[in-house]
């Protein structure tokens, strides 16, 4: 008899990623501070709230954020001159959502990065969302409502005008440099997700 003979090879359901990604990738591995306090740029606080198709908060989703620095450079993609000693710019964050479906990040406003055909993209965050019931991560972007560069962004231009609002973080009333975005996984006002 081999060890394999004692293993139950009963198939398990594949409809969900289960809670394991959340438990293994958050807690000690959560990163809410994407840019340390010494990093040059406009400091911003960004809150996400994930809702399901019925508008109910998703308390066990995980959001990852990637961004460029204030000069439009991604980590390890540009010269290191001018780096402030002791500063920490990760360019990446990861947080689980709480009972109300929300999570917070502190960072700097990203600079404009090159786009196709010698264009510049508007300041934005790239986001990746995992949650129970999803077989694949959802990829999207977050832009700043009222940002003049949004009008010329080549990626935002690919999104139908009546759907662009789902990608626009709104200023939080009464809080300076604080922005929020509701991510709706399905249903009415579903967030635009990109097939990448």
Which residue ranges make up each domain of the chain? Answer: 16-75+83-184
> Does domain 16-75+83-184 bear CATH number 3.30.365.10?
no
Query: What pLDDT score was predicted for residue 28?
Result: 59
Burial degree of 151 (CB within 10 A; 0-12, 13-18, 19+):
exposed
Q: Is the pLDDT of residue 168 over 80?
A: yes
What sign results for the dihedral spanned by CA atoms 163, 196, 109, 151?
Answer: negative
Give 92's DSSP letter. Answer: E
Contact 52, 124 (CB under 8 A): no
The helix (H) or strand (E) run that includes residue 24 is: helix 20-25
Query: What pLDDT score was predicted for residue 133?
Result: 79
User: In sequence order, which residues have a C-beta less than 8 Å from that of residue 137 and are 6 or more positions away?
Assistant: 128, 129, 130
CA gap 69, 65 in Å, rounded = 13
- Encode pLDDT of 98-127 as tens digits: 999 999 999 999 999 999 888 999 999 999
Query: What pLDDT score was predicted for residue 146?
Result: 97
Contact 16, 89 (CB under 8 A): no
CA gap 21, 61 in Å, rounded = 9
Query: What pLDDT score was predicted for residue 52?
Result: 94
What's the distance, CA 79 to chain centroid?
25
Contact 152, 122 (CB under 8 A): yes
Query: What pLDDT score was predicted for residue 190?
Result: 96
Q: With cut-offs at 50, 70 and 90, classify the pLDDT of residue 58.
A: very high
Alpha helix (H) residue ranges in 73-189: none
pTM here is: 0.82
Report CA Rg, the chain: 19
CA gap 65, 125 in Å, rounded = 6
CA gap 147, 151 in Å, rounded = 8
Nearest residue to 129 (alpha-carbon basis) of 162, 163, 103, 99: 103
């Amino acid at each position: 008899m081999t060890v394999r003979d004692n293993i139950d090879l009963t198939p398990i359901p594949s409809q969900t990623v289960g809670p394991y990604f959340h438990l293994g990738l958050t807690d000690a591995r959560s990163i809410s501070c994407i840019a340390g306090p010494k990093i040059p740029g406009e400091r911003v606080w960004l809150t996400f709230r994930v809702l399901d198709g019925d508008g109910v908060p998703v308390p066990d989703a995980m959001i990852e954020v990637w961004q460029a620095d204030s000069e439009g450079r991604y980590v390890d993609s540009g010269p290191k001159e001018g780096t402030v000693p002791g500063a920490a710019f990760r360019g990446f964050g990861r947080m689980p959502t709480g009972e109300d479906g929300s999570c917070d990040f502190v960072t700097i406003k990203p600079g404009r990065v090159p786009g196709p055909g010698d264009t510049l993209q508007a300041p934005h965050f790239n986001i990746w969302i995992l949650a129970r019931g999803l077989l694949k991560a959802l990829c999207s972007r977050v832009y700043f409502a009222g940002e003049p560069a949004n009008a010329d962004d080549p990626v935002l231009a690919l999104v139908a005008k009546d759907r662009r609002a789902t990608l626009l973080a709104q200023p939080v009333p009464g809080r300076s440099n604080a922005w929020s975005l509701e991510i709706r996984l399905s249903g009415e006002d579903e967030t635009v997700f990109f097939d990448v």
